[in-house]
Structure 1
Amino acid sequence: MLTEISRRRDFPSLTAMTYLNTAAESIPPQCVGDALQRYYADKIRGMKGREQHFAALEACRDVSARLLGMQPAEVAFCSCSSEAYNLLASALALGSADEVVVTDLDFPAGATPWLRARPAPSVQLWRAREGALQVDDLAPLLSEDTRLVQVSLVSFYNGHRIDWMPFLHTVRRLAPRALISADITQAFGRVELECAGADIVISSTHKWTLGVHGGCIVGVPAAGAARLTTRAGGWLHLENAFASDRFERAVPKSGAASFAVGMPSFAALYALNASLRYLEGVGIAAIAAHANPLTARVESGLRALGLQPLCAWQPRNPTGIVAFRHERSAEIHAALEREAVHVMHNAGRIRIAVHGYNTSADIDRVLASLAAALA
């Protein structure tokens, strides 16, 4: 991932393109394709393959826990982050007297369940200033009635990264009964995590973790398991799913295990087990050390072209995302695509994402292509 030899071996498709869109879709390493083939080989054995399926699940749980700094029993899997957040809403069962804080830099999956709930809690919006969330703006939104503060460790929108410890201390001081939920989708696999003290962490699997669709990691520290046990129906998450009293009551497992309500998405877990072990072998610290200077070059290069990043580069809290807006964004994006330079474009915003498989030549090429498009 970090050398030309390993890049060609593990990511052969990158020889034909400059790919800077990992914040939307990653390029999985070759080992993920091999893992999916193993899943298929196990699946065609029918019920005899189930032993391998569940072994892969537990192996994935182990490596996920290591990279999250948790115990395996504190980790479970859903099909996507939207499912995880709706299950979180079921666990909290908030009422109209309760308050939830979300940010305007959150992805919809983490922000909208509280708007759809009935009865709906009062939703307070923590707004960014100049692309960054300031703790001083959070404090007035917190109270004894705050039951949940939902944030993204790294914003999908502009790459802003929460200054975690001041945020954590502010919530614990001013909203002592609130739970903290952290969406780590745009961080996990790319930056060294700093979210200790979160009551629940949630991550999709098809972005920086280099997995595929159909998976979501949920981490719930054991200390808060009782408060974060879902009220969903299902079977895999129940203690008495096939007991004699199963039509009289449904007794859930507590905490993270209660989020795994049905048959696991085994293909996604085979892939995630392979991709996380690949990342673990390379080392998240090594990825950050390689990719952070490249991301900083993107930010400074945009400014040199007269483009204003939506969030200033933070050397103390670096991420893999730089974004900007432009009135000719669709035209610029089309010009980059013609040069096989792939970035994200949405509603006037262009987002550039740098992972460990990117190179200095990739940055040279995207900046040169942007300069040509602007001209």
Structure 2
Amino acid sequence: MEHLPQQYRHLFPILQTHTMLASCSQSALAEPVSRAIQDYHDSLLYMGTNWKEAIEKTEFARNEFAKLIGAEPDEVAIVPSVSDALVSVASSLTAFGKKHVVYTDMDFPAVPHVWQAHSDYTVSVIPSIHGVMPLEQYETHISDETVLTCVPHVHYRDGYVQDIKAIAEISQRKGSLLFVDAYQSAGHIPIDVKEWGVDMLAAGTRKYLLGIPGVAFLYVRKELADALKPKASAWFGRESGFDGAYAKGARRFQTGTPAFISVYAAAAALSLLNHIGVPHIRDHVKTICADAVQYAAEKGLQLAAAQGGDQPGMVAIRDERASETAALLKKKKVICAPRENVIRLAPHFYNTKEDMRHAIDEIAAKTIHK
């Protein structure tokens, strides 16, 4: 799949001078996305107002995200962040009468932060085992009293990929709703919310979705959405904007005016991803990550991710001084994303095997000379 970087690498100016491997934190900015941001700016600078155009762009972005995950547009809400999405979801569950929520120790810290703030819920944490999450853990920890199970599609620290369809089957059998954090997967791993049986899914745009901070998307299954009454809802979540009736479908989870500049960026970015096709992106990323895993081992580097299962879309390398190493790499124009004692190399469709090998060479050199 080396033709992907050959076709699209020219769209990313940063790649002319840097090795950009930080998609798990912030992807490279594509020229079409940059132009969309400039379009928003210019519309205000030269026209004074752009409300109608911004609303149209918002609906375009909604449709593109729905296409990306196999949903219908009315099943997608536009929210400021994945954290805001989960806050809104948490405010909507009282109708079910059950008070037990579970999340995993692989979830991003924002997930426990949300549930710790809701004292009316009983919360349990599903522990991983040696860096993996066997399905038996979900069988054990989800009970008949569980109203919601929160899981990450991909572990933010090392790229471990979970079988969401299998987890959804367990959750449904136990009578629990399933919320999936797809921030680390949307854009490089194909997602089909209908085929998988997902109830809710959220993803932001600044990582593999090629956008900037300020906007995220919340999918809520249409049969479920109309039964929920989120307390975290405001005029963009109302039928006409000015009356008290909830909007139909997932739109009721929306609050105030979106960050339109981020919406413009998201619309351009999602359009590019859908044009390329996420299955093609996944094949490419898997190929170069598999090569990088082998190359890192040859260089004597220790991988942080547990082996087995689906090939992660990042290569996580253990380094007790990861932030220090990342800072040194940045001086060499290699951009990666450290996290705790791990250096994460997270490529996208614009990266090559050579990018990954160059970064690994630099990490090995820094590690040896520390």
TM, length-normalised to structure 2? 0.92
**3-state secondary structure, aligned to 1:156:** coil
CA distance in 2, matches of 1:86, 1:73: 20
CA distance in 2, matches of 1:99, 1:3: 46
CA distance in 1, matches of 2:97, 2:366: 51
Letter in 2 for 1:223: E
Change (3 A) 1:337 1:259: same
CA distance in 1, matches of 2:287, 2:41: 39
CA distance in 2, matches of 1:118, 1:58: 36
**Stretches of structure 2 lacking an aligned partner (at least 5 in a row):** none
Structure 1 residue 349 displacement after superposition: 2.0
Letter in 2 for 1:4: Q
- 1:195-206 aligned at under 5 Å gives the runs 195=193, 196-206=196-206
Please point out which of 6, 9, 25 is paired with 2:8.
6
Structure 1 residue 159 displacement after superposition: 0.5
CA distance in 1, matches of 2:165, 2:8: 36
**Partner deviation per Cα, 1:38-59 (whole Å, 9 max, x = no partner):** 2123334234x21111111111
Structure 1 residue 97 displacement after superposition: 6.2
Please point out which of 300, 304, 317 is paired with 2:310.
317
Could you tell me whether the CA contact under 8 Å between 2:236 and 2:254 is conserved in 1? yes
CA distance in 2, matches of 1:332, 1:39: 37
How many percent of aligned residue pairs carry the same amino acid? 28
- 1:10-25 aligned at under 5 Å gives the runs 10-25=11-26
Count of paired positions: 363
Query: 1:26 maps to which residue?
Result: 27
Structure 1 residue 331 displacement after superposition: 4.2
Structure 1 residue 235 displacement after superposition: 1.3
Q: CA-atom RMSD, angstroms?
A: 2.1
Structure 1 residue 203 displacement after superposition: 0.3
CA distance in 1, matches of 2:31, 2:225: 37
- 1:1-375 aligned at under 5 Å gives the runs 2-4=4-6, 6-8=8-10, 10-44=11-45, 45-47=47-49, 49-93=50-94, 98-119=99-120, 121-173=121-173, 175-176=174-175, 178-195=176-193, 196-239=196-239, 241-243=241-243, 250-314=244-308, 317-375=310-368
CA distance in 2, matches of 1:102, 1:258: 24
**3-state secondary structure, aligned to 2:188:** coil
Could you tell me whether the CA contact under 8 Å between 2:233 and 2:252 is conserved in 1? no
**3-state secondary structure, aligned to 1:100:** strand
Structure 1 residue 67 displacement after superposition: 1.1
**Partner deviation per Cα, 1:157-179 (whole Å, 9 max, x = no partner):** 11111122322222222x21x11
Structure 1 residue 84 displacement after superposition: 0.9
Instruction: Name which of structure 1's ranges 321-330 and 50-59 shifts more when overlaid on structure 2.
Output: 321-330
Structure 1 residue 308 displacement after superposition: 3.1
CA distance in 2, matches of 1:94, 1:311: 39
CA distance in 2, matches of 1:311, 1:94: 39
Query: 1:246 maps to which residue?
Result: none
Change (3 A) 1:337 1:67: same
**Stretches of structure 1 lacking an aligned partner (at least 5 in a row):** 244-249
CA distance in 2, matches of 1:162, 1:313: 13
**Partner deviation per Cα, 1:158-214 (whole Å, 9 max, x = no partner):** 1111122322222222x21x1100011111111112542111110011110001110
CA distance in 1, matches of 2:155, 2:89: 20
